[in-house]
Amino acid sequence: MAQNDSGYEFYVGPATHLEGASLAIDGTARIDGKIVGKVAVKHLIVGPTGCVVGDISGETAEIEGTVEDSLQLSGKLTVCASGRIRGNIKYGSIECMEGAKLVGEISTDWETNQSAAPVVSDRLEAFTAAVAQEQDVPGSEDNGEAL
Q: What is the pLDDT of residues 43-80, one digit of tens each?
A: 999 999 999 999 999 999 999 999 999 999 999 999 99
Does the global pTM surpass 0.95? Answer: no
pLDDT at 117 over 60: no
The closest alpha carbon to 62, from 42, 47, 40, belongs to: 47
**CA dist list (Å): 98 to 79, 80, 102:** 9, 8, 11
Side-chain-side CA neighbours of residue 40 (13 Å): 3
Note whether 52 and 46 are within 8 A (CB). yes
Neighbours of 60 (CB within 10 A): 19
The mean pLDDT value of the chain amounts to 84
Phi and psi (nearest 5°) for 85?
Answer: -130, 130
